[in-house]
Amino acid sequence: MKIAKLSSSEKILIGAVGGLAAVCVKFLGQDYTTILHQGANLTADQWFAYQIGYGVLTPILIFLGMVLAWVSDESSRVKLLAIAIAAPAMITTWSGGVKSDNVDLASFSIISTAHAAEPQNKKTTLLPVDPTIRSEKTWWSAVADGVKMFFGYGKEINSFYVVAGSFKSQEQAFAHSKAINNRDKSYQAHVGPKTSNNYYPVLLGEADTLSNANRLRKKIIGRRIIKDAYLVNADDLKSRVSFALLY
């Protein structure tokens, strides 16, 4: 029995469903667990990048599925759906996993390299951050971050230090960390490396996830010794923090 050919509109509809199915499989297989279990540790920028990435790439993959289905001579709906899923699925499979965010953007044909490597001997710059607030970016930068996130770059769970004060004098920083530890040794206050503005930060404990660091910051704010505290990205300190400075 001869199978009737599918109309172009029917092919396009099946192709759209196939492209969307590939995106859904990617989300459930690669990103759902991260969002479910690590959602509290994602920064506002990471949340926004997820939204932008899926918002930009989902229509593209749906369109790809539509084109493949439209040009195919396949008359079976099931086989046509498999064809429509195949190409988008190859892209979404390649985009899986967590990749290092230190990627040369020139490797993406639609993104140009914007930043040169920083000198290795540059002093540490510690900037107070509020990971719950989105950074100000151009629309192009936001799209670039979203595309990178979709392909696995920037998914790492960031770590943060709680800074309980900064001092021009290293002796003052030591004295402050000692006073904190005398009050409660569980804070593990220690002095970090000298920053580019010539201050010595007093850090609490080890670098931790966003939710834990925020919890510690809220816990210690307002204490007699610690009047204020803020978070800094642990990557800004690298391995230069010495825990030999603990009291």
The model's pLDDT over 64-114, given as tens digits with 9 standing for 90+, comes to 999 999 998 888 889 999 999 988 888 887 776 666 665 444 444 433 334
pLDDT, the chain, mean: 81
pLDDT of residue 14: 94
pLDDT of residue 11: 92
pLDDT of residue 238: 57
pLDDT of residue 227: 77
Are the C-beta atoms of 202 and 192 separated by less than 8 Å?
Answer: yes
Of residues 43, 64, 25, 66, the one with CA closest to residue 149:
43
User: Which three-class secondary structure state does DSSP give residue 82?
Assistant: helix
Q: Which domains does the chain have, with CATH numbers?
A: 1-157 (no CATH), 159-245 (3.30.70.1070)
Question: Which residue stretches of the chain have pLDDT < 70?
Answer: 1-3, 96-127, 238-247
Residue 194 to residue 244: CA distance in whole angstroms: 15
- The vertex-136 CA angle with 133 and 138, nearest 5°, equals 145
pLDDT of residue 240: 46
